[in-house]
């Protein structure tokens, strides 16, 4: 059934019709958006470079918006607020809402393993689409798309207490259960010295089970914070294990 849906939307006008209906954007250069919706496992140019660009735009737009919205917040609080908007989970939520999984192109192996449902796949595609909008329509178009797509996540900040960063929350949770402190492992660093991406794994022993999660960021500190948040998401009631 899922494959039938995917084939139905990937017709000759892919992805023009989807862009207009789901993203609400009128494209000029369709090649950019085909690339944005092409995973590296598929043939043709992948969305990795556009993802890199879109990540920077997303962070800039959200940072400026939060800076202007929360005028009395300090740098630490603004950083934690931003993490709630631009981390993998809210990005993937946007991807699910837009139906990105139905239109993304990927190789047969990824398709069979359900890659179009994977959080990281959806999050990467959203960032790549933002990068494509920047190149296709300019910064103001990209800014408008970002604020529209993430308005729910931003509005949710007002009703969600964010007092401590993810690493502190995780450490205090484990200490409260007399569990060992989390272990952070730098898995790899990619990119040129001026534009590096840090990939980190966070693992914990919690109530007789081992929980781990990976994340990436433009610094090791940010990658560790994101990985800690991913572990927290798993430890919360109803979280995946």
pLDDT tens string, the chain, 241 residues long: the values are 444 344 444 444 667 888 888 888 999 999 999 999 998 888 788 899 999 999 999 999 999 999 999 887 778 778 888 988 998 888 999 999 999 988 888 777 666 656 566 788 899 999 999 999 999 999 999 999 999 999 999 988 876 665 567 888 898 888 888 889 999 999 999 988 888 899 999 999 988 889 999 999 889 989 999 999 999 988 865 444 4
Rounded Cα distance between 151 and 90, Å, is 11
110 flagged as catalytic: no
Which CATH number fits the domain 166-235, given the four candidates 3.40.220.10, 3.40.50.450, 3.30.160.20, 3.40.50.1000?
Answer: 3.30.160.20
- Segments of the chain assigned to CATH 3.30.160.20: 166-235
Backbone angles phi, psi at 216, to 5 degrees: -135, 160
Q: Which of 51, 55, 124, 165 is catalytic?
A: 55
CB distance 204 to 174 below 8 Å: yes
* pTM score: 0.63
Backbone angles phi, psi at 11, to 5 degrees: -95, -165
Q: CATH top-level class for 2-159?
A: mainly alpha
Instruction: Locate 99 and state its tokens.
Output: 């139906």
Rounded Cα distance between 126 and 103, Å, is 12
CB distance 42 to 14 below 8 Å: no
* Residues 6+ positions from 8 with CB-CB distance below 8 Å: none
3-state secondary structure of 201: strand
pLDDT for 198-230, tens place per residue?
A: 999 999 998 888 999 999 988 998 999 999 999
Q: Which of 127, 136, 165, 224 is catalytic?
A: 127
Rounded Cα distance between 135 and 155, Å, is 28
**Residue for token pair 């809210």:** 90
127 flagged as catalytic: yes
Compute, in degrees rounded to 10, the torsion defined by CA atoms 163, 168, 169, 173: -140
3-state secondary structure of 15: coil
pLDDT for 21-57, tens place per residue?
A: 888 899 999 999 999 999 888 878 889 999 999 999 9
- Segments of the chain assigned to CATH 1.10.1520.10: 2-159
């Amino acid at each position: 059934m899922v494959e039938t849906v995917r084939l139905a939307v990937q017709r000759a006008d892919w992805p023009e019709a989807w862009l207009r209906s789901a993203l609400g954007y009128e494209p000029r250069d369709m090649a950019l958006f085909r690339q944005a919706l092409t995973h590296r496992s598929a043939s043709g140019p992948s969305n990795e470079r556009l993802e890199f660009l879109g990540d920077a735009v997303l962070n800039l737009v959200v940072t400026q918006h939060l800076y202007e919205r929360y005028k009395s917040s300090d740098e630490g609080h603004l950083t934690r607020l931003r993490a709630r908007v631009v981390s993998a989970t809210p990005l993937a939520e946007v991807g699910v809402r837009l139906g990105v999984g139905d239109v993304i192109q990927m190789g047969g192996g990824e398709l069979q393993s359900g890659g179009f449902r994977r959080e990281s796949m959806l999050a990467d595609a959203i960032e790549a689409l933002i990068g494509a909008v920047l190149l296709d329509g300019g910064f103001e178009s990209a800014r408008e798309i970002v604020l529209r797509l993430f308005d729910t996540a931003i509005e949710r900040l007002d009703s969600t207490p964010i007092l401590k960063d993810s690493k502190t929350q995780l450490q205090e949770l484990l200490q409260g259960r007399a569990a060992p402190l989390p272990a952070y492992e730098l898995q790899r660093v990619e990119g040129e010295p001026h534009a590096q991406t840090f990939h980190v794994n966070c693992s914990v022993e919690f109530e007789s089970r081992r929980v781990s999660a990976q994340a990436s960021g433009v610094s090791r500190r940010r990658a560790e914070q994101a990985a800690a948040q991913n572990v927290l998401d798993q430890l919360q009631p109803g979280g995946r294990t």
